[in-house]
Amino acid sequence: MTKKALVIGTGLAGLSTALRLTKHGYEVEMVDKYHQPGGRLNLLEKDGFKFDMAPTFFSMSYEFTELINYCGIEMPFEFVELDPLYSVHFEGDKRSYLIHKNIQKLAQEFKDIEPGFERKISKFLESAGQLFHDTENIVIKQNFDNLLSYLLQLTRVPVKHAPKMFYSMWREMEKNFDSFEVKVIFSLVGFFLGATPFDTPAVYSLLNYTEMVHDGYYNVRGGMYKIVEGLVKELEKKNVKMNFKVEINQYLERNGQVSAFFDKQGNKWDADLFVVNADAASFRGQVMGRDAYSEKKLDRKKWTLAPLTIYLGLDRKVENMYHHNYFLRKNFKEYASKIFKNTIKLDKPYYYVNIQSMHNPNYAPGGKESVFILCPVPDLRYKSDWNDSEQIADAIIKDLGERTGFDFAKHTETRVVLNPTEWEQMFNLYRGSGLGLAHDLNQVGGFRPSNKDEKLRNLYYTGASTVPGTGLPMTVISSRLVTERITREHGSLS
Ligand SMILES: Cc1cc2nc3c(=O)[nH]c(=O)nc-3n(C[C@H](O)[C@H](O)[C@H](O)COP(=O)(O)OP(=O)(O)OC[C@H]3O[C@@H](n4cnc5c(N)ncnc54)[C@H](O)[C@@H]3O)c2cc1C
């Protein structure tokens, strides 16, 4: 007998979960409030230009390979490895640093500012690698039935790693390196988690190992949205029906189970079991009406920074820039401590620039360029009015022009700016938080909203704000963990 699963959300976690469930013989249907699949992994098209809307690279590519092998299909997209990984520019410093994977080459970049770099980075990466391999299968890729099982599992992590839970990533940098630039560059992974190195525990230095040694960073040939197109094609082959512009806002309970969800138009969506790919914390509060996730309690949680994103279609090619570039300043500590709470002016922000048509020439008409700029900003709790977003974008574009010697403003043919209010509205990102719940130690593992509902037996969650965490590979792992739970509790039907 077949069982039907309704997946609410077509983000990467939703698509991956749907694909895994079809492999187990489930009939799957999907709904999403947005007009096309992908969630944050989406595509923007304007005036002949294309833009990856949010993610521009990923690590742990083998998690995608695992998904594809699990589902017994051919890889529907092609990875393109980034090496060098990215470039970093500091204000007032004429040179920029290219982050190579090859340690000898990388050491050349820092030879003037960090004596003994090769020895120092090798030691640092070795320790980060041990941490990664000692926690990957014990903590990251595990379902926890309750807090106790999580805490018990933690006791299996070698005790030598324990101190790293209690001091910050920045402190880890101070222990290993001397120069300001090197410390800043290798603590940028804190920002990839949507926080700052000062409030990210040192355990996350394991990400330095995944980027530099274990795997690296990847883009996808033809653009990041090829991931979504590829997965959707596979889902179509399995007769998975997708319904867009459908926002779920109510549910009906019967005998300890969800019997149906309802959308804003009052349409009923029923199934035997339900997987929520919307934010696992705010959905519990806003749709399920759970006290533990009331607005007040959600606001007290730690959320990742919100995005201000700028998409520029330029009338010519950009000169002298690499694909992935960070533009930073020298007031790193002050900036990091103030940015969350909006107590710093946004006219001189830190930002990331991705020249998208360098990887993917099809993203811009011949001789032209697609450029994406991401500036992490305070979420809507701390700055609710974004009427100044166009002016902030102007300031960033001017700054970028001055620092690169290329007049981005003059060569802009088309431009889109998306602020946290718009990000919140597009995908129901709580308070516009870009990466969902932060990864403080009291918000990971057994402390993170579970992928299994606390009350209703046939309700599950997948995605960035449930286990294990945010970022593309993590959401793929999330789809595996929730599928493991579902098949354990409802059986594999194939
Ligand atoms: C600007 C930005 C840049 C990023 N860059 C990177 C990067 O370079 N590399 C990387 O690995 N990660 C990056 N990330 C993080 C990454 O995008 C996310 O971790 C990942 O895409 C989350 O996927 P998801 O499936 O959990 O959620 P989502 O992609 O948010 O999907 C959830 C879906 O649910 C839908 N939905 C929500 N509520 C409802 C409802 N009530 N009813 C119906 N549908 C609903 C939404 O419309 C959405 O489509 C970035 C994120 C942002 C915002």
Amino acid identity at 8? I
For residue 285, how far is its CA from the centre of ligand 1 (angstroms)?
Answer: 18
- Number of the ligand 1 atom closest to the C-alpha atom of 462: 26
* 231-260 pLDDT tens trace: 999 999 999 999 999 999 999 999 999 999
pLDDT of residue 194: 73
pLDDT tens-place string over residues 305-354? 999 999 999 999 998 899 999 999 999 988 888 887 777 778 788 999 99
Phi first, then psi, for residue 186 (nearest 5°) are -85, -5
Instruction: Name the closest-CA residue to atom 4, ligand 1.
Output: 55
pTM (predicted TM-score): 0.97
Q: Which atom of ligand 1 has the smallest separation from the CA of 40?
A: 29
159 Cα to the center of ligand 1, angstroms? 34
Query: What phi, psi does 420 have (nearest 5°)?
Result: -55, -35
Contact by Cβ (8 Å): 208, 219: no
Token readout for 468 is 């294990």
| 488, containing H or E segment | helix 472-490
Task: List the one residue out of 138, 64, 187 whose CA is nearest residue 468.
Answer: 138
Task: Tell me how long the chain is.
Answer: 494
Instruction: Using most ligand atoms within 8 A of CB, pick from 40, 282, 461, 481 the residue to mutate for ligand 1.
Output: 40
Distance of CA 347 from the midpoint of ligand 1 (Å) = 27
- Asked if the domains 4-44+63-78+222-301+439-490 and 102-215 are classified in one and the same CATH topology, the answer is no
Centre of ligand 1 to C-alpha 4, Å, is 24
CATH number attached to the domain at 102-215? 1.10.405
Question: Domains of the chain: which residue ranges?
Answer: 4-44+63-78+222-301+439-490, 102-215
Fold held by 4-44+63-78+222-301+439-490: FAD/NAD(P)-binding domain (3.50.50)
- Cβ distance 337 to 198 under 8 Å? yes
193, 275, 277: residue to mutate for ligand 1 pocket, most atoms within 8 A of CB: 277
Half-sphere exposure of 80 (CA within 13 A, CB side): 15
| Closest protein CA for atom 1 of ligand 1 | 54
Q: pLDDT digit of tens for each residue in the chain (494 aa)?
A: 789 999 999 999 999 999 999 999 999 999 999 999 999 999 999 999 999 999 999 999 999 999 999 999 999 999 999 999 999 999 999 899 999 999 999 999 999 999 999 999 999 999 999 999 999 888 889 999 999 999 988 889 998 998 888 899 999 999 999 999 999 999 998 887 777 899 888 999 999 999 999 999 999 999 999 999 999 999 999 999 999 999 999 999 999 999 999 999 999 999 999 999 999 999 999 999 999 999 999 999 999 999 999 999 999 999 889 999 999 999 998 888 888 777 777 878 899 999 999 989 999 999 999 999 999 999 999 999 999 999 999 999 999 999 999 999 999 999 999 999 999 999 999 999 999 999 888 999 999 999 999 999 999 999 999 999 999 999 999 999 999 999 999 999 88
